[in-house]
Structure 1
Amino acid sequence: MAGEAELTPTSYIQHHLHNLTAQVGEGGGFMTLHLDTLITSVLTGALMVFLFWLATRKATAGVPGKWQAFVEICLEFVDRQARDTYQGTSKLVTPIAITLFFWILLMNTMKMIPADFIAKPLEWVGVHYWKPVPTADVNATLGLSISVFFLTLFFALRAKGLGHFTLEFLTAPFGKWMMPFNLVLNTVEWLSKPISLAMRLFGNMFGGEIVFLLIWVLGGAGLLGLLGGAVFGFGWMVFHLLVIPLQAFIFMMLSIVYLSLAEDSH
């Protein structure tokens, strides 16, 4: 980051909201990859798998260790929510719910690390941009929601078959004589689900990221600003201790609801 860019609060915030990107394709014009989002997402996913592996490595049917007991409590909680919400017969729902909840939870938790704690060491090795929270990138949340969309489509086709699904898509809810209106309504309904799912998670995480950066900037405005930044930062951090798991929980629950509704017949 250039020295002048550090002089103003606006440039500081803009810098920390800029992704580390790489151009793909001939001439670099085919697509842009957000490398920080991809790398952090993969690392948090690998961390999730590793933590679960630690719990199962020495799992016992007797008195479990502390970490095994904690993981079992978390998994039982998610499994209970999935079973209570999903009314179908698929055994994939609980693994899907576990993956979504804990992966999003870990990605959201990256927000608790101050931005400069990651950005400054990376600048020393020549990496000048790094946005640490994957869920504050709409590309990541859309990727998750589109995956849920295709799962929803798969569940619907598996439960109803292509013929019944197509017939229902064209005739529900107003009957066969209102087929054009049914087609428009159902198309909007199906497309709005992944979009709303992605934007809800992105909006909360991105908004929280901006507030954290504003508080961080306030802390650099003299002694009074430092005290104010410490107070507001602590309060916002405590608030986000609720927001971080809540957003992961909402995304998981809505995904299960969509999967359950996909198998229902109108």
Structure 2
Amino acid sequence: MSESNAPAISNPVEYIQHHLGNMTHNGERPASLVDFSVFFVDTFVMSLILALAFAFAAWKVGKNLDPDKPTGMQNILETVVEFVNQQVKDIFPTADKWVGPLAITIFVWVALMNTMDIIPVDLIPSLVAGVAGVFGYDPHHVYWKAVPTTNLDTTFALALLVFGLIIFYNIKHKGLFGYMKVFATHPFSASNPIVKVLLFPINVVMTAIEEVAKPVSLGLRLFGNMFAGELLFLLIALLAFSYWAMPGQVVLGVLWSIFHILVILLQAFIFMLLTIVYLGLASQGTDEH
């Protein structure tokens, strides 16, 4: 077999590299960690499918809502709604009426995207490769990452959306001048005018770092945990390269899947909870900051 026709996956290293690759609009990998010229087809499609599935389930339950004889899906969604709304009431009691739906959407959507990590790592990529082969593409060179939250584009897009809402709420409740005043007087304040001037550049830098750290920590925390989980699944899948190790692969895969369910839900909960906390802090007046 010539080198050009050799399979893209012939050893463990290439196996991991293949599974960590994304399908892009031009078939090229990003030139750097941040590359706005690349559109990740797999991330967009998987995120869209899960969002539509969530929207359809919510619409279907809402259309057939029965308080006397609730279905299983209705019970699940009602539990999620009550749970998230309680978090909003406890953390952000003065929240606008759309903060609850926003928090619910974030929690369910992130949880669904994370749940793709439980599906066997080769299943969805193999199905996509099979479809691509029907249309004449080489299935060995078709990349597909099924877990959107293992892509920094997804986690940072969500984090930047939250960051935009943080700025909106700060300006809404403090006013533009009040929000800018926070940068000049936080975290250090003084009554002496000279000391105020001396502290001004320090306050601006530290407050700016504090504000930027919010979306960065949100995006990196979710990405890091999900990427590590996916990588561990890939390492477990590598045991299939040795037939004698396949029983161990099944046992380890099941155990890690059970534990990873907690990680999936916990990361969705943390992202949702921090969103509520940040919006609640942004809604405080300048004297409460």
Question: Shorter-chain-normalised TM-score: which range?
Answer: over 0.9
Alignment partners' CA distance in 1, 2:270 and 2:164:
19
Q: Which residue of 2 aligns with 1:103?
A: 109
Amino acid of the structure 2 residue aligned with 1:246: L
Residue of structure 2 aligned with 1:39, choices 39, 45, 50: 45
Aligned structure 1 segments of 4 or more residues deviating by more than 6 angstroms: none
> TM-score scaled to structure 2, two decimals?
0.86
Alignment partners' CA distance in 1, 2:67 and 2:145:
42
Q: Does 1:215 align with 2:236?
A: yes
Q: Does 1:260 align with 2:266?
A: no
Q: Which residue of 2 aligns with 1:189?
A: 210
Q: Which residue of 1 aligns with 2:135?
A: none
Alignment partners' CA distance in 2, 1:209 and 1:63:
39
Amino acid of the structure 2 residue aligned with 1:70: I
Amino acid of the structure 1 residue aligned with 2:279: L
Q: Which residue of 1 aligns with 2:9?
A: 6
Q: Which residue of 1 aligns with 2:120?
A: 114
Residue of structure 1 aligned with 2:150, choices 136, 150, 160: 136
Amino acid of the structure 2 residue aligned with 1:168: V
Q: Which residue of 2 aligns with 1:234?
A: 254
Q: Does 1:160 align with 2:174?
A: yes
Alignment partners' CA distance in 2, 1:30 and 1:137:
13
User: What is the deviation of 1:87?
Assistant: 3.8
Q: Which residue of 2 aligns with 1:71?
A: 77
Q: Does 1:169 align with 2:189?
A: no
Amino acid of the structure 2 residue aligned with 1:244: I
State whether residues 219 and 230 of structure 1, in contact with CA within 8 Å, keep that contact through their aligned partners in structure 2.
no
Q: Which residue of 2 aligns with 1:83?
A: 89
Alignment partners' CA distance in 1, 2:65 and 2:128:
38
Q: Which residue of 1 aligns with 2:30?
A: none
CA deviations 1:22-51 (Å, max 9, x no partner) are: 249xxxx96101110011111111111111
State the number of aligned residues: 262
Secondary structure at the aligned position of 1:105 is classed as helix
> TM-score scaled to structure 1, two decimals?
0.93
Secondary structure at the aligned position of 1:22 is classed as coil
Q: Does 1:19 align with 2:40?
A: no
Amino acid of the structure 1 residue aligned with 2:261: L
Structure 1 unaligned runs (5+)?
none
State whether residues 85 and 260 of structure 1, in contact with CA within 8 Å, keep that contact through their aligned partners in structure 2.
yes
State whether residues 80 and 104 of structure 2, in contact with CA within 8 Å, keep that contact through their aligned partners in structure 1.
no
Percent identity at matched positions? 41
User: What is the deviation of 1:2?
Assistant: 5.8
Structure 2 unaligned runs (5+)?
28-34, 133-138, 190-195
Secondary structure at the aligned position of 2:112 is classed as helix
Alignment partners' CA distance in 1, 2:36 and 2:99:
35
CA, structure 1 residues 23+124, in 2 after alignment: closer, same or farther (shift >3 Å)? closer
Q: Which residue of 1 aligns with 2:32?
A: none
Mean Cα displacement is larger for which, 120-129 or 6-15? 120-129
Alignment partners' CA distance in 1, 2:80 and 2:263:
18
Amino acid of the structure 1 residue aligned with 2:92: Y
Amino acid of the structure 1 residue aligned with 2:17: Q
Secondary structure at the aligned position of 2:165 is classed as helix
Alignment partners' CA distance in 2, 1:164 and 1:202:
34
Alignment partners' CA distance in 1, 2:71 and 2:248:
42
Amino acid of the structure 1 residue aligned with 2:56: F
User: What is the deviation of 1:72?
Assistant: 0.9
CA deviations 1:174-213 (Å, max 9, x no partner) are: 2333111110011100101100110000001001101101
Q: Which residue of 1 aligns with 2:192?
A: none
CA, structure 1 residues 52+166, in 2 after alignment: closer, same or farther (shift >3 Å)? same
Amino acid of the structure 2 residue aligned with 1:209: E
Which one has the bigger helix percentage? Answer: 1
